[in-house]
Structure 1
Amino acid sequence: MNDKITFAKKYENEHSGSEYIGYMHDLIANSYRDAKDYKSAYEFLKNNSDKVSTYRFYSVAKRMLDENEDMKTALEIAKLGVEKNRQEVENPSKDKPEFFSNSEWEDERKHYLGLNIFAYGNVLYNIDEKSKSLLVLEEAVNLTRREDGSINELYSKALVENGAYGKALDEISKFIETGHGTVIMKNLLKEAYLNEKGSDEDFSEYAEKFEDAAKEKLILKLENEMILEPAPAFTLNDLDGNVVSLTDYKGKTIIVDFWATWCGPCRASFPGMKISVEKYNDDENVKFFFVNSWERVEDKHKIAADFISKNEYPFQVLMDEENKVIEMFKVSGIPTKFIIDGEGNIRFKSVGFPGTDEQLVEELDM
């Protein structure tokens, strides 16, 4: 680890302003995280908060939450992340990426702030400061535009466990109605209903109207977003070196998913994409391609391969190392998914992550 830090310092001195300085510091933070040396990770993040990415604080804190490790240190890391991300929202330290509009760039910064606030609220919840976590989680829900299922779910839990049954009914029903609910939230809705009404009589009819509204909205959304335009032909190598050409799959339904390892919403969407890939695994008429683009490191192949291997995703990843294919598809932000029919026409385009695995799978199924 000391060698990595020494090299990063030397590189920074010799290449002031290089974009790779941030990547190196992210890798060092990740090394501390992967070694479970969380106290050193905290010290490193604290001393290099201006060099690591805004997502890195959330990444380390989330790992600690997932493993229920050292909540005291996790709380401090989450606080650092909230402080850093608030600064970035108010006064960005970097120039706007060329592929983002001003509003998209602002939305992304707010999204990362929301994730870090979620980590902070999640730690508070886990150390039984559930009353204090409630307002924190509410801010995280709003910053992520009420679209992140995991954040919505924890906020819903906090509402119910704090006895705010009336507000829980209002909030959870809205999450479900807009398609940003989860299976667990349906159970929470029933618990809130029982406590608020004194009985679960008529609950099924009550909940059904929100579920039906969500399905109707999704169908209408997909119908309105249906398109018909020729998909750009492309040829790329996959991670194993196989040559893949879109024209070789005429007659099949193709899902093309543009992503990058640094993209939080891309990563958040992958569990749902895994469900879909496995669901259609035996259907020879459906094919998924995950096109890795816009990577910010020199060895793009390695970082993509390592990510897929570590997470055990059954994805066929195509390497768009020169970002030519993503430009051909006129992608403005990732993740972006295209559904291409058997005639080679784009029929549907989806930008971003809907917030829940359930909604993502349902979108692709329709």
Structure 2
Amino acid sequence: MKNILVITISTLLISFAASAQDTKSPKPKIKSESQLVREQLIEKLYLEKSGRKSEQIAAEILEKIDTDTAWASEKAKRDAYRIHPLYAYLNAEDTEGFKRFLSSLGEVKGTERIHFATAAYVRQLVKKGIDLDFAGELIQKERGWAKNKMLEANQASEDRTKYEGQTFGYAMFTADYAQLLYKKGEKAKSFDLYKEAMKYNQHRKEAELTNAYLVVASEMLPQDVLNKEMETLIRNGMATAEIINRLKTVYVNKTGSDAGFENYIASFNKDKIKEKIESLRKIMLDETAPGFTLKDLNGNIINLTDLNGKIVVLDFWATWCGPCKAAFPAMQAMVDKYKGDPNVRFFFIDTYERGDSKEKNASDYINGKKYTFTVLMDNFNEVAQAYKAKNIPAKFVIDRNGKLRFKAAGFSSDADLMEEIEAMVTLAKEK
């Protein structure tokens, strides 16, 4: 049975921009002894890896909240601390410990995180292929909760952003249930659920969900119908790097080469690219790009001034940055798109890296994923600071005259990123 890409809990719990430390932070205020004690105990809870010990620390925190006036400010977070041991069990992949502690919690109303923790637990059970009936009961309950939250948010029409977030939550939990049914061999039901999940993925355009849907669709649909489905997804602005790769394989098998493939893909999204170009034209910059000299992973020296006459795309990243790595499949698709154009160069600048083995960490990750990136090492974060890239991922496009034309931070979806990079490069070429 093929493995289906599984949506991780981090998708819902972290934003798509990782903040690097600001070296010029203001001097912190002096804290009281009670505040320091409180913060130290809370930090101890968050750092504890043992589920059992985490339970003990959480119990100590709850007692202080209930009895110590110095902890009054933490009352609103009481349930969040109460359920936190679930995450210790999750990280340790202690499914039995999670199940026992979950059953002991009873009703939890003070935090929604328990629903996402439970869904993550279901994913672990599905991945291991154990306790699937229990997992099914849990995820159906959580899916019902997510649907109610979505309907409630829809009625509160003044906050559409919240509604869009809730629809994505429902899509995620529906995809979790679809994954479980696929694991049990109920492929037809799984496919129906994935189709429903995709209806609510149209705003977020989550690539992992789309790719998971394609795995099941490839088993349920004839190849010609599957091809049309992938073309429709591109036309609707939901392209992923995986879709591009799948269609390229089909195209090469049919024609014998990849000649004309980019024009074939462009026929489905050319209107969206045109819209993106006109939108970005209005915010085009005209700044001198900061110069830099950095080494790549092979020890070669790259100097920006040597790249005059070329369009340069910079992507600042780090191995610890989840959103940076989530964007890499789409960035690989862009590298592949322009590999035949000698006047467009991509550089992936590893910055804000942690640990002593920075080059090894970067090399191991890039080679392990088989990305064909030119990685430059900004070991002292000087280039990131020169470009004011406080948050990563951060991307910059420089024209052939050394002018900085675009900058963008964060990552939303494969489709948006690929459209954005293509539009930026097109506009930079005009200068």
TM-score normalised to the size of structure 1? 0.54
How far is 1:314 from its partner? 2.1
How far is 1:180 from its partner? 1.0
Whether the aligned pair in 2 keeps the contact of 1:75 and 1:124 (CA below 8 Å) is no
Select 1:214's aligned residue among 269, 277, 288: 269
Q: What pairs with 1:77-226 in structure 2 (closer than 5 Å)?
A: 118=175, 121-130=178-187, 133=190, 134-135=192-193, 138-139=196-197, 142=200, 145-152=203-210, 154-155=212-213, 175-181=233-239, 182=243, 214-226=269-281
Aligned mates of 1:309, 1:260 — CA distance in 2: 14
* 1:310 has 2:310 as partner: no
Select 1:232's aligned residue among 265, 274, 289: 289
| Residue in structure 1 matched with residue 325 of structure 2 by the alignment | 267
Query: Structure 1 residues 285 and 118, CA, compared in 2 at 3 Å: closer, same or farther?
Result: same
Q: What one-letter code is carried by the residue in structure 1 that aligns with 2:329?
A: P
How far is 1:254 from its partner? 0.7
Whether the aligned pair in 1 keeps the contact of 2:315 and 2:393 (CA below 8 Å) is yes
Select 1:355's aligned residue among 414, 421, 430: 414
Query: Structure 1 residues 122 and 299, CA, compared in 2 at 3 Å: closer, same or farther?
Result: farther
Whether the aligned pair in 1 keeps the contact of 2:293 and 2:301 (CA below 8 Å) is yes
Whether the aligned pair in 1 keeps the contact of 2:315 and 2:395 (CA below 8 Å) is yes
**How many aligned residue pairs are there?**
301
Residue aligned with 1:346, SS: strand
| Residue in structure 2 matched with residue 245 of structure 1 by the alignment | 303
Query: Structure 1 residues 294 and 355, CA, compared in 2 at 3 Å: closer, same or farther?
Result: same
Aligned mates of 1:141, 1:300 — CA distance in 2: 44
Residue aligned with 2:327, SS: helix
| Residue in structure 2 matched with residue 200 of structure 1 by the alignment | none
Query: Structure 1 residues 148 and 221, CA, compared in 2 at 3 Å: closer, same or farther?
Result: same
Which deviations, in whole Å up to 9, do the C-alpha atoms of 1:303-332 show, x marking residues without a partner?
323211211222222233454433443447
Q: Which has the larger radius of gyration?
A: 2
Query: Structure 1 residues 341 and 75, CA, compared in 2 at 3 Å: closer, same or farther?
Result: farther
Whether the aligned pair in 1 keeps the contact of 2:397 and 2:404 (CA below 8 Å) is yes
Aligned mates of 2:403, 2:101 — CA distance in 1: 48
How far is 1:135 from its partner? 4.7
Q: What one-letter code is carried by the residue in structure 1 that aligns with 2:181?
A: L
Aligned mates of 2:49, 2:318 — CA distance in 1: 17
| Residue in structure 2 matched with residue 195 of structure 1 by the alignment | none
How far is 1:225 from its partner? 0.6
Whether the aligned pair in 2 keeps the contact of 1:273 and 1:360 (CA below 8 Å) is no
Whether the aligned pair in 1 keeps the contact of 2:289 and 2:398 (CA below 8 Å) is no
Q: What one-letter code is carried by the residue in structure 1 that aligns with 2:276?
A: K
Query: Structure 1 residues 307 and 172, CA, compared in 2 at 3 Å: closer, same or farther?
Result: closer
Whether the aligned pair in 2 keeps the contact of 1:255 and 1:338 (CA below 8 Å) is yes
Whether the aligned pair in 2 keeps the contact of 1:259 and 1:335 (CA below 8 Å) is yes
Counting aligned pairs with the same residue, the percent is 29
Q: What stretches of structure 2 of length at least 5 have no aligned partner?
A: 1-39, 51-86, 103-115, 150-159, 248-264, 427-431
- Pairwise CA RMSD: 5.9
Q: What one-letter code is carried by the residue in structure 2 that aligns with 1:125?
A: Y
| Residue in structure 1 matched with residue 56 of structure 2 by the alignment | none
Which deviations, in whole Å up to 9, do the C-alpha atoms of 1:187-231 show, x marking residues without a partner?
xxxxxxxxxxxxxxxxxxxxxxx9867321222212321313225
Query: Structure 1 residues 29 and 250, CA, compared in 2 at 3 Å: closer, same or farther?
Result: farther
Which deviations, in whole Å up to 9, do the C-alpha atoms of 1:30-65 show, x marking residues without a partner?
9x9xxxxxxx6756887999xxxx99x97x969x99
| Residue in structure 2 matched with residue 192 of structure 1 by the alignment | none
Aligned mates of 1:109, 1:323 — CA distance in 2: 37
Residue aligned with 1:179, SS: coil
Which deviations, in whole Å up to 9, do the C-alpha atoms of 1:276-309 show, x marking residues without a partner?
43454465433211122355x4347143232112
Q: What one-letter code is carried by the residue in structure 2 that aligns with 1:317?
A: V
Aligned mates of 1:362, 1:140 — CA distance in 2: 25
Aligned mates of 1:258, 1:346 — CA distance in 2: 15
How far is 1:255 from its partner? 1.0
* Higher relative contact order (Cα pairs below 8 Å, separated by 6+ residues): 2
Q: What stretches of structure 1 of length at least 5 have no aligned partner?
A: 1-14, 33-39, 91-102, 187-209
Aligned mates of 1:291, 1:108 — CA distance in 2: 32
Q: What pairs with 1:284-295 in structure 2 (closer than 5 Å)?
A: 284-295=342-353
How far is 1:234 from its partner? 4.1
Whether the aligned pair in 1 keeps the contact of 2:164 and 2:203 (CA below 8 Å) is no
Whether the aligned pair in 2 keeps the contact of 1:275 and 1:361 (CA below 8 Å) is no
Query: Structure 1 residues 175 and 277, CA, compared in 2 at 3 Å: closer, same or farther?
Result: closer
Aligned mates of 2:349, 2:361 — CA distance in 1: 13
Which deviations, in whole Å up to 9, do the C-alpha atoms of 1:84-113 show, x marking residues without a partner?
xx99xx9xxxxxxxxxxxx99x99999899
